[in-house]
């Protein structure tokens, strides 16, 4: 309370927040403005030199001429190193030669701090080198664009569910036992007892759906699997809606509407960033409902004769998912996998008990599964039998079974992986660039 800057108290707003940013310079054409940021790059041609200032919202070129500035300012060129923090004042000038349409005719430059040998130069670097310096890498234009698109995607997801009157219900991070029992969990000491980091908020969302009708949670998820692929992180973010009185068809409708909404929003609001990433926009513009819906058997038929080790009755591998999705120009919804390869809480198809009422959404262009979900088992005895069959500790699921004792209804939901969705929309090679500080099997630094 003692430390609030004076201007907060006096005026009720912050000059630091409301100052001019690069993304807004177009509104000030011809005016003299001050920009605060960091030196992205510089070039000299002798009696005139150029600086690129970035401030997180964009990059603008400043033109420094010996005719317009004092000799002291002109000579700052020597001391300006990459990523030095600087405040520049100058006149906004529209110029076709400028990448952003505007440049600044510099009148004054103030160096706040001279950076010492910034390690990430404007030239090429390997991913290992860059990941080791992820805290600095996120300053680069490309990483900046990806993380802003991530923000837009997250905001779109929240806006979608909020507009549909879903209630946000946060699931716990510490959990007493496996939600699914199949995958490896991160174990932690909880006051002398074992606890685990959540691998899904879904079971809690089922409880919440019975309380609020339509709910979603959004948070981090942890998987201790030793997966080293372009699609895996040990810590990733997932949004998990759950709806009471919903069946598999309802869930598929929800999934395709959400995905269409997200892609449309990114195309509307973040086109410039997609261009920085050189994303093939035509691949996103086709993402319109309805999405193809194919039965597991149809997906299996696509793989027949293809070069794959897939055997009917098993789950699809990463290569199989690519083979399937390559047949479509939008996400494909594969439904009713064999019940044996799916989690215990999935409801079986009453007309074909060997299949689960589940759906996976496979993104186009080989980006793989971005959604997994379906209808949940709502019958108490069937659920108990499944828990026993998979050798899960029944006592750990007492509370979950209560949901089937007190007003059980058909219901369902899904989990959407944020990083895979970002990777797909941005057209990236690897999900590690879709999260600010990725956690991978061999990386927990920085």
Partner RNA sequence: UCCGGAGUAGCUCAAUUGGCAGAGCGGGUGGCUGUUAACUACUAGGCUGGGGGUUCAAGUCCCUCCUCCGGAGCCA
Burial 325-358 (b: 16+ CB within 10 A, else e): beeebbbbbbbbbbbeebbbbbbbbeeeeebbbb
293 DSSP β-pair partners:
333
Using CB under 7 A, which of the segments 63-71, 107-115, 160-168, 399-407 binds RNA?
Answer: 63-71
Q: Is the peptide bond before 290 cis (omega within 30 degrees of 0)?
A: yes
Q: Which is nearer to RNA, 66 or 292 (CB)?
A: 66
DSSP state of 394: G
DSSP state of 171: P
Using CB under 7 A, which of the segments 91-99, 145-153, 161-169, 389-397 binds RNA?
Answer: 91-99
Task: Write out the two tokens for 20.
Answer: 């001019």
CB of 220 to RNA, least distance (A): 11
> Which residues, including other chains, have CB under 8 Å from residue 295's CB and lie 6 or more apart?
334, 335, 336
Window 231 to 270, contacts with RNA (CB under 7 A): 231-234, 236, 238
CB of 40 to RNA, least distance (A): 9
Q: Is 391 in the site for RNA (CB under 7 A)?
A: no
Q: Which is nearer to RNA, 75 or 285 (CB)?
A: 75
Task: Write out the two tokens for 326.
Answer: 């390559």
CA–CA separation, 235 vs 226, rounded Å? 12
By CB under 7 A, name the one of 31, 70, 127, 388 that touches RNA. 127
By CB under 7 A, name the one of 371, 383, 392, 425 that touches RNA. 371
Q: Is 369 in the site for RNA (CB under 7 A)?
A: yes
Q: Is 307 in the site for RNA (CB under 7 A)?
A: no
CB of 406 to RNA, least distance (A): 26
**C-alpha angle 298/301/307, rounded to 5°?**
140
Q: Per-residue x/- mask for RNA, residues 315 to 334, rule CB under 7 A?
A: x-xxx-x-------------
CB of 272 to RNA, least distance (A): 16
By CB under 7 A, name the one of 242, 419, 426, 428 that touches RNA. 419
What's the length of the chain? 446
Number of residues that bind RNA (CB under 7 A): 72
């Amino acid at each position: 309370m003692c430390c609030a800057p004076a201007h907060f108290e006096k005026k009720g707003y912050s000059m630091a927040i409301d100052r001019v940013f690069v993304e807004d310079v177009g509104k000030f054409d011809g005016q003299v403005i001050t920009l605060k940021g960091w030196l992205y790059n510089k070039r000299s041609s002798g009696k005139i030199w150029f600086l690129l200032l970035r401030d997180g919202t964009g990059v603008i070129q400043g033109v420094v001429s010996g005719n317009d500035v004092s000799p002291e300012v002109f000579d700052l060129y020597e001391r300006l190193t990459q990523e030095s923090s600087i405040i520049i004042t100058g006149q906004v000038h529209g110029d076709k030669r400028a990448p952003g349409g505007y440049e600044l005719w510099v009148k004054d430059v103030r160096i706040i701090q001279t950076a010492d040998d910034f390690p990430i130069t404007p030239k090429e670097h390997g991913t290992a080198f860059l990941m080791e310096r992820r805290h600095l890498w996120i300053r680069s234009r490309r990483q900046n664009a990806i993380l802003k698109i991530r923000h837009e995607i997250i905001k779109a997801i929240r806006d979608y569910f909020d507009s549909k009157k879903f209630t946000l219900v946060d699931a716990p991070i510490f959990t007493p036992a496996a939600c699914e029992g199949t995958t490896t969990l991160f174990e932690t000491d909880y006051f002398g007892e074992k606890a685990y980091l959540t691998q899904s908020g879904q079971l809690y969302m089922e409880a919440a759906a019975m309380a609020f009708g339509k709910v979603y949670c959004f948070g981090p998820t942890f998987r201790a699997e030793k997966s080293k692929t372009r699609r895996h992180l040990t810590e990733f973010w997932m949004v998990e809606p759950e709806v009471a009185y919903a069946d598999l068809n309802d869930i598929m409708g929800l999934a395709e509407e959400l995905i269409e909404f997200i892609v449309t929003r990114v195309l509307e609001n973040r086109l410039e960033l997609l261009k920085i990433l050189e994303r093939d926009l035509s691949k996103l513009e086709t993402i319109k409902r309805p999405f193809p819906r194919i039965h597991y058997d149809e997906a299996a038929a696509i793989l027949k004769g293809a070069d794959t080790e897939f055997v009917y009755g098993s789950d699809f591998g990463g290569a199989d998912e690519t083979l399937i999705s390559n047949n479509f120009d939008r996400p494909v919804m594969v439904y009713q996998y064999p019940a044996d390869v799916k989690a215990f809480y999935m409801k079986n198809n009453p007309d074909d008990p060997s299949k689960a009422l589940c759906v996976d959404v496979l993104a186009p262009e080989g980006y793989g599964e971005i959604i997994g979900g379906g209808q949940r088992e709502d019958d108490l005895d069937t659920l108990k039998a499944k828990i026993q069959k998979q050798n899960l500790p029944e006592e750990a699921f007492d509370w979950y079974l209560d949901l089937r004792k007190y007003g059980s209804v058909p219901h369902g939901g899904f989990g959407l992986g944020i990083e895979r969705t970002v990777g797909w929309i941005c057209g990236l090679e690897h999900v590690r660039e879709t999260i600010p500080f990725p956690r991978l099997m061999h990386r927990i630094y920085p």
